[in-house]
């Protein structure tokens, strides 16, 4: 529709907006030029007001209290079936049946890095950005198994251009043209504490990415699912952008997921034992005969702190947000937009916006808004049999979430050195440790050298690593 008609378009939206209590959205429109009015009209028209009304009145939200949870059954690498399962996972990789999938559409507000989080320099010595760490694992996996691994990267409207430019500027980290595919996730309007949609500017609604659960719909709507089918991909290896220790194409996990009788091959997750009752990770649990995840904010303190007969946390299966999903499962789940919706979670956050009465810009110092997001793990209970595999925190989990303290760049870098120290020690190298048992040197082992202690066999290694030294292998 032409810009000339923008004023009419906005006027025609007025009754709908009034009925939904959202008429303030066009309150500042008379200050706008025709192009800006047209932009605003387009944004407002694309908002699902009915969905928003349901959510702001508490319907369509995830239920934290749907029955008493119990701990899930888990499998681990010491399982007697592990060797066969690993072979099955290797077969899938050798036959090019697996795609890597990174969700990188988040806003990364806690870290406060000026750019997409995947561009953050994460490794201990060379400061490799997260995206390069994943690319090198993909290249190393291809070296071993000989088949190409397509890599799907989900961005958001806010960081898509910068993310794609980063890959271009870095020559896709050596991956082939066509191997890296980008898809942009959807958004939801942010609302104030009374449910009124917020404006970021007079011509712009305040939008937030619709959560990592939006990745499933984005896979369908971008055409990625069809493309995967055409490429012969059967399984999607899902991981977040913020964990440099993630093992993104793990044959053992793939094998358990695809070939174990405890799995339907639809959706699986990896866990590590929680550090303590207060750690801010969701936990896997069973509820209503299904395996799923309860977010840490939804787990009552009494359950978070409950112990089993062995004195371990009863709900100890911390979710590290590493999943396998079959292409067929995502296809089925997203086939019907009316029935495929995952429930929304409500998060109260600080949202920079316009004062809805005066139109002045506000930088809130206290949470003033609500964001609605869906979470990918809510798809797990929809799988017929979802499998949870236990793994080691030292080997696989050191996320970068906060600027300092726990789960920060500093704690993640120490964890990377600790993992690599343990690999070297397993090969007879003497590594300096500090009084707390942490590696006392900065040690980076690159994926193309080794992705496990075993893969260091036959490599040239130092005899010892001295305190304070920096080592790249």
Q: Which residues bind ligand UTP (CB under 6 A)?
A: 103-110, 117, 154, 185, 209-212, 214, 240-242, 373, 401
Task: Indicate the residue among 150 and 214 with the shorter CB distance to ligand UTP.
Answer: 214
Q: Which spans in 295-428 are helix H? A: 301-304, 327-334, 393-396, 409-426
- Please provide the size of the chain in residues: 473
- For ligand UTP, the closer of residues 324 and 456 by Cβ is 324
d(CA 469, CA 121): 20
φ, ψ of residue 263 in degrees (nearest 5)? -125, 145
Q: Which two tokens stand for residue 182?
A: 């980008």
* Nearest distance from C-beta of residue 278 to ligand UTP, angstroms: 18
Question: For ligand UTP, which is the closer residue by CB, 153 or 471?
Answer: 153
Residues 208, 214, 217, 221: what is their CA dihedral angle, to the nearest 10 degrees? Answer: 40
Q: Which is nearer to ligand UTP, 188 or 445 (by Cβ)?
A: 188
Smallest gap from Cβ 200 to ligand UTP, in A, equals 16
Write the DSSP assignment of 260-322 as a string of letters. Answer: -TT--SSEEEEEEE-SSTT----EEEEETTEEEEE-GGGS-HHHHT-B-TTSSBSS-EEEEEE
Choice between 241 and 322, CB closer to ligand UTP: 241
Whether 166 and 135 have beta carbons less than 8 Å apart is answered as no
CB of 363 to ligand UTP, least distance (A): 16
180 backbone dihedrals φ, ψ, rounded to 5°: -100, 125
Instruction: Name which of 93 and 342 has its Cβ closer to ligand UTP.
Output: 342
- Judged by beta carbon, residue 255 or residue 369, the one nearer ligand UTP is 369
Which of 104, 91, 94, 95 is closest to 135 using CA atoms?
A: 104
Q: How far is the CB of 399 from ligand UTP (least distance, A)?
A: 8
Taking the complex as a whole, how short is the minimal distance between the CB of residue 377 and ligand UTP, in angstroms?
A: 11
Question: Which residue has its beta carbon closest to ligand UTP?
Answer: 106
The phi, psi pair for 176, rounded to 5°, reads -75, 155
CA distances from 55 to 98, 356, 430 (A): 36, 21, 57
Token pair listed for 295: 């977010």
Closest CA to 325 of 219, 446, 171: 219
CA 345 – CA 286 distance, rounded (Å) = 19
> Which DSSP symbol is given to 256?
H
The residue among 181 and 472 lying less far from ligand UTP, judged by its C-beta, is 181
Question: C-alpha distances in angstroms, 15 versus 49, 56, 226, 419, 452?
Answer: 12, 20, 40, 61, 62
Give, rounded to a whole angstrom, the gap between the first and last alpha carbons of the chain. Answer: 59
Taking Cα atoms as reference points, which of 463, 458, 464, 456 lies closest to residue 473?
456
Q: What angle do CA 157, 158, 163 make, to 5 degrees?
A: 90
Least distance from C-beta 107 to ligand UTP, angstroms?
Answer: 4
Minimal distance in Å, beta carbon 80 to ligand UTP? 34
Could you tell me where the DSSP H helices lie in 119-233? 130-145, 160-169, 214-221, 224-231
Shortest distance (Å) from residue 118 CB to ligand UTP: 8
Residue (110 or 172) nearer to ligand UTP, CB = 110
Whether the CA torsion 241, 244, 249, 250 is positive or negative: it is negative
Separation of alpha carbons 355 and 46, rounded Å? 22
Nearer to ligand UTP, 150 or 209 (CB): 209
In the complex with ligand UTP, which residue's Cβ is closer, 212 or 314? 212
CB of 158 or CB of 453, closer to ligand UTP: 158
Shortest separation between residue 187's beta carbon and ligand UTP, angstroms = 8
């Amino acid at each position: 529709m032409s810009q000339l008609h923008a004023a009419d378009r906005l006027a025609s939206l007025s009754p709908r907006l009034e009925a939904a209590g959202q008429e303030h959205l066009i309150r500042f429109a008379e200050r706008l030029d025709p192009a800006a009015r047209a932009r605003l009209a387009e944004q407002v028209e694309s908002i699902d007001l009915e969905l928003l009304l349901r959510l702001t009145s508490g319907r369509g939200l995830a239920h934290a209290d749907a029955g008493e949870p119990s701990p899930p059954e888990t499998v681990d690498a010491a399982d007697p079936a592990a060797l066969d399962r690993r072979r099955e996972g290797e077969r899938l990789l050798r036959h090019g049946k697996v795609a890597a999938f990174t969700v990188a559409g988040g806003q990364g507000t806690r870290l406060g890095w000026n750019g997409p989080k995947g561009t953050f320099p994460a490794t201990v010595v060379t400061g490799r950005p997260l995206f390069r760490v994943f690319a090198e694992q993909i290249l190393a996996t291809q070296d071993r198994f000989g088949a190409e691994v397509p890599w799907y990267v989900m961005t958001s409207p806010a960081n898509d251009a910068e993310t794609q430019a980063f890959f271009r500027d870095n020559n896709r980290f050596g991956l082939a043209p066509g191997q890296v595919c980008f898809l942009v996730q959807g958004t939801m309007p942010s609302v104030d504490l009374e449910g009124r949609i917020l404006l970021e500017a007079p011509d712009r609604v305040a939008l937030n990415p619709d959560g990592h659960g939006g990745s499933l719909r984005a896979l369908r709507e971008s055409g990625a699912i069809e493309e995967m089918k055409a490429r012969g991909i059967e399984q999607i290896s899902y991981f977040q952008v913020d964990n440099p220790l993630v093992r993104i194409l793990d044959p053992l996990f793939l094998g358990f997921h695809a070939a174990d009788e405890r799995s339907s091959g639809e959706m699986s997750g990896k866990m590590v034992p929680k550090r303590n009752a207060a750690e801010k990770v969701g936990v896997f649990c069973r509820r209503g005969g299904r395996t799923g995840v309860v977010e840490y904010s939804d787990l009552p303190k009494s359950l978070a702190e409950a112990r089993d007969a062995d004195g371990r946390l009863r709900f100890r299966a911390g979710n590290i947000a590493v999943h396998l999903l079959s292409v067929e499962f995502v296809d089925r789940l997203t086939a019907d937009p009316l029935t495929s919706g995952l429930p929304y979670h409500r998060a109260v956050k600080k949202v920079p916006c316009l004062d809805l009465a005066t139109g002045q810009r506000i930088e809130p110092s206290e949470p003033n808004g609500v964001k609605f997001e869906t979470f990918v793990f809510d798809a797990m209970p929809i799988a017929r049999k979802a499998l949870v595999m236990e793994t080691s925190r030292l080997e696989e989990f050191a996320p970068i979430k906060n600027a300092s303290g726990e789960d920060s760049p500093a704690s993640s870098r120490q964890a990377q050195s600790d993992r690599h120290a343990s690999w070297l020690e397993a090969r007879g190298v003497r590594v300096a440790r500090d009084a707390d048992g942490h590696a006392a040197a900065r040690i980076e082992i690159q994926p193309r050298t080794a992705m496990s202690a075993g893969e260091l066999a036959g490599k040239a290694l130092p005899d010892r690593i001295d305190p304070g030294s920096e080592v790249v292998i």
